[in-house]
């Protein structure tokens, strides 16, 4: 797999595109508008500039990686791709429509269509794509250029060959560490992480302590690198809510249900770091 497409140039999509391009692969990022495409280009270049400043890459590699990335707005540009990773909004209706359209666009029978979803059933995406055996979840973590883990999620209809190709691609080509998870909402990491984050939000909502003290307690008391409310801001409060809703719909466990404060913050546009304000101001 040498020609890669990424749908979505947000925090996750741009990070995935950078990882793929740094692995030496031809990369196309699809965004919804020219304005969004420009923002995606700036986001990718900014990340590469930070890598340069930290000595992770040199000027020559920065130029080479930038040259491998094209940002476009037409899904038809994905037609010749060997692998397309969808990293669009965590909304089931949006993802289903994208998989329906891209499944019809891909020219190569062996091309794989993957989703970076955190919680939406992979089997549903495969059912609308017209290539159910070549659809699976490939869940990166933020920031993708730094985080080593990638969850691989085959559905009931994903072929063993597709899973094997993705295991080799992630470990050998991208240099990441894959783990395999079943096609259940939340997979491995979010099934453990999201209830913890929602519990911290409920604690803050109930007035147990300030956001800063809750986070300080978990950093200094449990050795976590980041507190749960700061981490929620980093992930995006809309994403946290969407994952919680999806997990609650599947399992009906109260601990997965988003608390009212989270609903209100998302409705108010207080989404965390990406909007400039969440539990903290940025």
The predicted model gives 99-116 an average pLDDT of: 97
Residue for token pair 């609308």: 128
Q: Which residue among the candidates 14, 41, 151, 232 is catalytic per the annotation?
A: 151
Instruction: Classify domain 190-267 at the CATH class level.
Output: mainly alpha
Instruction: Specify the pTM.
Output: 0.88
CA dist 73 and 5 (Å) reads 12
What architecture is the 3-180 domain classified under in CATH?
3-Layer(aba) Sandwich (3.40)
> 164: buried, middle or exposed (CB in 10 Å: 19+, 13-18, 0-12)?
exposed
**Catalytic site residue 190?**
yes
List, for residues 159-191, the tens digit of each pLDDT value.
999 999 999 999 999 999 999 999 998 899 999
Through-space distance between the first and last CA atoms of the chain, rounded to whole angstroms: 39
Q: 10 Å Cβ neighbour count for 101?
A: 15
Residue whose C-alpha is closest to residue 44's, from 5, 83, 79, 70: 70
Domain ranges of the chain: 3-180, 190-267
pLDDT at 185: 87
**Catalytic site residue 210?**
no
The predicted model gives 110-139 an average pLDDT of: 95
pLDDT at 118: 82
Mean pLDDT of the chain: 95
List, for residues 36-78, the tens digit of each pLDDT value.
999 999 999 999 999 999 999 999 999 999 999 999 999 999 9
Q: Which residue among the candidates 116, 119, 190, 246 is catalytic per the annotation?
A: 190
CA dist 106 and 204 (Å) reads 47
Q: Which residue among the candidates 18, 31, 115, 139 is catalytic per the annotation?
A: 139
Q: Which residue among the candidates 118, 119, 232, 246 is catalytic per the annotation?
A: 118
pLDDT at 142: 86
């Amino acid at each position: 797999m040498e020609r890669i497409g990424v749908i979505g140039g947000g925090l996750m999509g741009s990070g995935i595109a950078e990882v793929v391009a740094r692995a030496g692969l031809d990369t196309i990022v699809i965004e919804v508008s020219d304005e969004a495409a420009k923002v995606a280009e700036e986001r990718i270049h900014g990340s590469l500039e930070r890598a340069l400043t930290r000595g992770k890459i040199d000027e020559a590699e920065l130029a080479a990686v930038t040259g491998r990335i094209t940002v476009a707005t037409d899904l038809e540009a994905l037609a010749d791709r060997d692998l397309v990773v969808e990293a669009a909004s965590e909304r089931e209706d949006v993802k289903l429509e994208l998989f329906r359209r891209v499944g019809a666009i891909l020219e190569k029978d062996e091309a794989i269509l993957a989703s970076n979803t955190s919680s939406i059933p992979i089997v549903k995406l495969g059912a609308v794509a017209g290539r159910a055996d070549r659809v699976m979840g490939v869940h990166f973590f933020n920031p993708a250029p730094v985080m080593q883990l990638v969850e691989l999620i085959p559905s009931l209809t994903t072929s063993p060959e597709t899973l094997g190709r993705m295991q080799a691609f992630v470990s050998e080509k991208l240099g990441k560490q894959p783990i395999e998870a079943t096609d259940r909402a939340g997979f491995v990491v979010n099934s453990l992480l999201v209830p913890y984050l929602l519990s911290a939000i409920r604690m803050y909502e109930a007035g147990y302590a300030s956001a800063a003290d809750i986070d300080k307690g978990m950093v200094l008391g449990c050795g976590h690198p980041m507190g749960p409310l700061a981490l929620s801001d980093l992930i995006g409060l809309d994403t946290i809510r969407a994952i919680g809703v999806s997990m609650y719909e599947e399992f009906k466990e109260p601990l997965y249900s988003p608390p009212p404060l989270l609903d209100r913050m998302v409705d108010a546009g207080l989404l965390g770091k990406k909007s400039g304000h969440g539990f903290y101001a940025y």
